[in-house]
Amino acid sequence: MTSTASEQRQALATALRGVTADAPTLCEGWAAEDLALHIVIRDSRPDLMVGPQLPVVRDWARKALENLRKTGYAQLVKRAEAGPPVFFPQSLPPLNDMMNTAEFYIHTEDVLRAQPEFDPNSPRVISAKLRKRLWSQGALMFPMAARGAKKRITFVSPGFGSRTSGPASAPKLRIEGAPEELLLWAFGREEKAQVTIAEG
């Protein structure tokens, strides 16, 4: 059975190859090269995610990051496409799907939807299997979005159901859309997520 995370990793690599290193993304402050570097670090150099903030290793970590960046955009995308070393836990299919399906779906959209030629009326077509998995993973993500918004939010997706999160006393929102669009909204891509929102 094909891994949804592996499919979305390939989709992300394709999206990154379709733009230049300095192309915008929906990740604030990040160009495409920054996003590719993030994936490489997340996959194989997690020490560099925190190293620049730790005084004892700050200089070393920053140098290591700069050396990674100097390998060039094409090489960063190639490494992002290849994934983590086989001995890393996230290379195991079940953990890979759990950790990376939503991550790579969202980052693929971060690239595609940030481009001036993106047509909101023709979003990327995804499989029923991926949509089902994204809805399932929303069970973990939606409560965090509700807490961040300080609201009681009912996420509704026709054909999948609804999930409500947030304090009962908080202002209420109803957000409706496909699972992938709800997830984009929950991850802070509100302006690009194709959802309908109603208060109360």
Within 13 Å and on the Cβ side, how many CA atoms surround 70? 6
For 150-186, the pLDDT digits (tens) are 999 999 999 999 999 999 999 999 999 999 999 999 9
pLDDT of the residue at 48: 64
* Strand 161-165 relative to strand 152-157, pairing: antiparallel
Kindly calculate the radius of gyration of the chain based on its CA atoms and give it in whole angstroms.
Answer: 18
pLDDT of the residue at 191: 95
Give alpha helix (H) positions in 71-195: 73-82, 93-112, 128-149, 179-186
pTM here is 0.91
What does 51-98 look like in DSSP terms, one character per residue?
Answer: GGG-TTTHHHHHHHHHHHHHT-HHHHHHHHHH-S-TTSGGGSHHHHHH
For 45-88, the pLDDT digits (tens) are 777 666 556 565 566 667 878 888 899 999 999 999 999 888 78
Mean pLDDT of 24-28: 97
Please report the domains of the chain, with CATH numbers, ordered by start residue. Answer: 4-112 (no CATH), 128-199 (3.30.1050)
pLDDT of the residue at 54: 57
